[in-house]
Amino acid sequence: MSTEQNTRLGIALMVATCLVFAVQDGLSRHLAAEYNVFMVVMIRYWFFAAFVTTVAARRAGSLRAAAATAQPLLQITRGLLLAAEICVMVTSFVLLGLVESLAVFGGYPLLVAALSGPVLGEKVGPRRWTAIGIGFFGLLVILKPGFGVFSPYALIALTATFMFALYSLLTRKAARRDKASTSFFWTGTTGAVLMTAVGAFYWQPMLPADWGWMAALCVTGALGHYMLIRCYEVAEASAVQPFSYLHLAFGSMLGVLVFGEALRANVVIGMAIVVSAGIFTLLREARQSR
């Protein structure tokens, strides 16, 4: 395939991935409103770990090769951090709602850029710092602190955003010495171990219909990650990464249409500011890396 065809396919896969992940968020919100968050995430991780183990072993040649790493502490930290972040984010979906949680979460690329200096030793130029500042102003527009409508639950979404940004930075650091299949393997397995150790204490009997929703959650999780892998295989990250913000749009649509959430004007304006600043930051990072 030509570069242009690859880029188009990559963009199509990224759009589809964003839709699948938005559906996954909606399913998580529904199930976590009825059952304990730790149990829901635990079952999701069981399926995810099986999927990760299969894919990583096939790509690396064997399970042993997939698990081989020169930096086990870093890989374990990554996996544990992501599992904890998912628990925090799903809690935010229930307490704050999909719309506002995802609006806040849209600022994670800005945090990645801001923390890339102290964590990875990368240089952040004045243009990116300007975009980061504008993006954080957009977050303030979303949150409206000091105007009597600030929800303390927004702090949960902010915590999840910071955790995911840190996870992304640690993933970059791990990629300097380990293959993607190795990082993928440790992400799923360490998360499954943590969630089993915690979630087993919060087991609740589920209704038969909700087991169907849980199965859908597990399938969308595996499908979304598979499509994301394929997306980055066929196209350059710089070409498709800006389209990842469609996750916010799809998730917000689900929040409004399915869960009856309100789409307030300040959230729309703030989200537009955050997304614009985030896309600029992603494009600048891609140009610097080239």
Which alpha helices (H) appear in 96-179, and where do they start and end?
A: 98-105, 108-120, 126-143, 154-175
Cα–Cα distance measured from residue 253 to residue 244, given in angstroms and rounded to the nearest whole number: 15
Cα–Cα distance measured from residue 142 to residue 136, given in angstroms and rounded to the nearest whole number: 10
Instruction: Note the pLDDT tens digit of each residue in 233-266.
Output: 887 776 787 788 889 889 999 999 999 988 888 8
3-state secondary structure at position 139 = helix
- CB burial of residue 249 (10 Å; 0-12, 13-18, 19+): middle
Spatial contact of 42 and 198, defined as CB atoms under 8 Å apart? yes
Examine the pLDDT at 289 and tell me if it is beyond 70: no
Instruction: Note the pLDDT tens digit of each residue in 19-59.
Output: 999 999 999 999 999 999 999 999 999 999 999 999 888 88
pLDDT at residue 2, as a whole number: 57
Cα–Cα distance measured from residue 17 to residue 23, given in angstroms and rounded to the nearest whole number: 10
Cα–Cα distance measured from residue 103 to residue 248, given in angstroms and rounded to the nearest whole number: 7
pLDDT at residue 166, as a whole number: 93
CA torsion through residues 23, 28, 34, 40, sign: positive
> Which residues are within 8 A (CB) of 289 and not within 5 positions of it... i.e. 6 or more apart?
238
3-state secondary structure at position 164 = helix
Cα–Cα distance measured from residue 141 to residue 148, given in angstroms and rounded to the nearest whole number: 13
0.85 exceeded by pTM: yes
